[in-house]
Amino acid sequence: MGGFIGRALATRLRARGDVVRGVDFIADPSAQVVAGDISTPGTWQDHAADCDLVVHTAAVVSNAVDPDTCWRINVLGTRNVVEAAARGGARRLVHLSSVRAFSDLRFPDGVTEDHPVRPDGNPYVDTKIASEQVVLQAHGVREMPVTVIRPGDVYGPGSRPWTLIPLELIRANRFVLPAMGKGIFSPVYIDDLLDGLLLAAAHPQAAGQVFTISGGTEVRCREFFGHSAACSANAVLWLCPRR
């Protein structure tokens, strides 16, 4: 719950009057957050008791983590969250996956949810695909109604990979864009992601479905991070040709 999306979601829900609980490595009793490791069953699972909605945002989000750790957290951990939600009587589980389930090996522009996912050997990609299978299987056997959300690249205040770290590197004149900044991705602002997530969580026909949520347009890295550079005095974007 202490991650970028989890914090933003909790703030949004509390603002509309919902009671919010959470699980993180470090407990925060003032925010009704208990300590727990989702890769291991434990008393943290009891914290889901009597919750109407369980949103699963916990995951390893890195290309630099070994496959076993990725599987233990992203896949086995997801199964433990499913069990906690089902045992607690939740009406819906929303699982956050990623557009990278389509693979890093080029998926078509305008890709839709019915396009096949594609394992590509990257532990993050492959375990995100496997985690979707875990929750959709639980839905298929009527263990737990679920909805899968595949966000694009989520940015906004507090986003480390797409906002904070780039700004730090740009200010230090150390930010490098490969392929001369011509790489393309699909950013989505955090508030827009939360709008879509909560709509899907509440809609009866969204149960059992997979939704891709992005800004709806492709953006070149040079253009996106150029705005960050413009906000930083004396900053330089270094462009590196693809080898």
Asked if 196 and 211 touch (Cβ cutoff 8 Å), the reply is yes
Nearest-angstrom CA–CA distance, 3 and 201:
20
Nearest-angstrom CA–CA distance, 151 and 206:
16
Where in the chain are the domains?
4-156+186-217
Mind listing the pLDDT tens digit for each residue in 37-53?
999 999 999 999 999 99
Asked if 53 and 91 touch (Cβ cutoff 8 Å), the reply is yes
From the list 88, 70, 59, 216, the residue with the least C-alpha distance to 148 is 59
22: helix, strand or coil: strand
Q: What is the DSSP letter of 93?
A: E
Task: Name the pLDDT band for 237 (thresholds 50, 70, 90).
Answer: very low
Query: Could you tell me where the beta strands, DSSP code E, fall in the chain?
Result: 22-24, 33-35, 53-56, 92-96, 146-151, 153-155, 176-178, 184-185, 187-189, 210-213, 219-220, 238-240
Superfamily (CATH H level) for 4-156+186-217: NAD(P)-binding Rossmann-like Domain (3.40.50.720)
Mind listing the pLDDT tens digit for each residue in 161-182?
777 788 888 888 887 776 777 7
Cβ-Cβ contacts under 8 Å for 187 (sequence gap 6 or more): 152, 153, 154, 155, 162, 214, 215, 219, 224
Is residue 33 pLDDT above 60, yes or no? yes
Burial (CB count <10 Å: 0-12, 13-18, 19+), residue 31:
middle
Mind listing the pLDDT tens digit for each residue in 85-133?
999 999 999 999 999 999 988 777 778 899 999 999 999 999 999 999 9
Nearest-angstrom CA–CA distance, 138 and 149:
16
Asked if 96 and 212 touch (Cβ cutoff 8 Å), the reply is no
Task: Name the pLDDT band for 63 (thresholds 50, 70, 90).
Answer: confident
- DSSP H or E segment with residue 123: helix 123-140
Nearest-angstrom CA–CA distance, 3 and 18:
19
Region 58-74 average pLDDT? 92
